[in-house]
């Protein structure tokens, strides 16, 4: 019997050191997430967060049509409704539903820069996953939608928390309240994605950026990434004070000394995260 394809894949491309690639691989069902996939995706994120060798991550969907259509309407949504009404669900369903927040990176900090290669439509939970990524590239035929209000649901992933912090207030409410899809050009215009890339160059573009990030001093990348999140909620006086506190230890790190030495010796620095 041939081995079945894992719906969540974790790859480590040898030509891109310190980069991990996570693939949502269920194209026959629009890469939508059922309870077992949610549980597995949560396990993958926890594994990556604990792996010091991984310095940057690329997330993509399998196939050429859909990045991720969100939750599986045949499995995940009915199970969630049964659980919410106090009915019994299977152990597999319960584990998947318990893992939703971690799977969607909603309240779970990966601790590593995440690049999203949006290879097609990003809807609902797929949109939430994209919002958790720091950098996003999309193919020309991609579309983006938050459809929860059209289904009588509240968008409990990342959308109401992160979207108004990432794009303009009016644009965020248009997406959240209308449930109307927007295309890739509109997404780029409102700052939802960094750029639009042809399909045959999508992963190359994402991996090139991931390698560039992974090649920088890991302590500095990590501190900068976490600093942006921390300082965002502060007033200016406290933010400037806190950024000095975050930056001070890095100036005496091994990586900083290595960068200075490499500059003098006209070579590429070898960072060790110390």
The string of DSSP codes covering 85-112 is: TT----HHHHHHHHTHHHHTTSS----S
Residue 99 pLDDT greater than 90, yes or no: no
Note the pLDDT tens digit of each residue in 50-73.
Answer: 999 999 999 999 999 999 999 888
7 or 93, which is more confident: 7
Torsion of the alpha carbons at 99, 173, 60 and 1, rounded to the nearest 10: 50
- Whole-number pLDDT of residue 274: 83
pTM for the complete prediction?
0.91
Instruction: Yes or no: say if 9 and 45 are a contact pair by the CB < 8 Å rule.
Output: no
DSSP state of 266: T
Q: Does the pLDDT of residue 221 top 60, yes or no?
A: yes
Rounded Cα gap, residues 250 and 202, in angstroms: 34
Residue 121 has φ and ψ, to the nearest 5°, of: -70, 135
pLDDT (mean) for 155-175:
95
Mark out the alpha helices in the chain (DSSP H runs).
35-50, 76-84, 91-98, 100-103, 125-131, 159-166, 169-178, 184-189, 202-214, 218-232, 236-247, 254-264
pLDDT above 70 coverage of the chain, percent: 98
Please say whether the beta carbons of 30 and 67 come within 8 A.
Answer: no
Question: Cα–Cα distance between 24 and 129 in angstroms, integer?
Answer: 11
- Mapping DSSP to helix (H, G, I), strand (E, B) and coil, where does residue 213 land? helix
Instruction: Give the mean pLDDT of 96-114.
Output: 91
């Amino acid at each position: 019997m041939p081995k079945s394809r894992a719906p969540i894949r974790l790859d480590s491309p040898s030509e891109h050191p310190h980069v991990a690639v996570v693939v949502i691989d269920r194209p026959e069902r629009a890469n939508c997430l059922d309870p077992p996939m949610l549980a597995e995706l949560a396990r993958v994120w926890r594994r990556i967060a604990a792996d010091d060798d991984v310095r940057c991550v690329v997330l993509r969907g399998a196939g050429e049509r859909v990045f991720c259509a969100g939750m599986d309407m045949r499995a995940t949504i009915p199970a969630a409704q049964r659980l919410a009404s106090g009915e019994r669900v299977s152990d597999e369903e319960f584990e998947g539903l318990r893992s939703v927040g971690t799977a969607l990176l909603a309240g779970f900090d990966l601790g590593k820069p995440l690049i999203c290669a949006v290879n097609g439509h990003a809807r609902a939970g797929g949109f939430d996953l994209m919002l958790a990524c720091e950098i996003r590239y999309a193919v020309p035929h991609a579309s983006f939608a938050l459809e929860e209000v059209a289904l009588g649901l509240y968008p409990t992933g990342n959308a109401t928390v992160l979207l108004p912090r990432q794009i303009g207030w009016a644009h965020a409410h248009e997406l959240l309240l209308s449930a109307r899809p927007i295309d890739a050009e509109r997404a780029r215009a409102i700052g939802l994605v960094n750029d639009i890339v042809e399909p045959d160059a999508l992963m190359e573009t994402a991996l090139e950026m991931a390698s560039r990030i992974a090649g920088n001093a890991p302590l500095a990348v990590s501190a900068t990434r976490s600093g942006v999140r921390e300082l965002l909620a502060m007033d200016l006086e406290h933010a400037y004070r806190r950024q000095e506190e975050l930056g001070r230890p890095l100036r005496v790190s091994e990586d900083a000394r290595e960068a200075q030495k490499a500059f003098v010796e006209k070579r590429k620095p070898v960072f060790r995260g110390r």
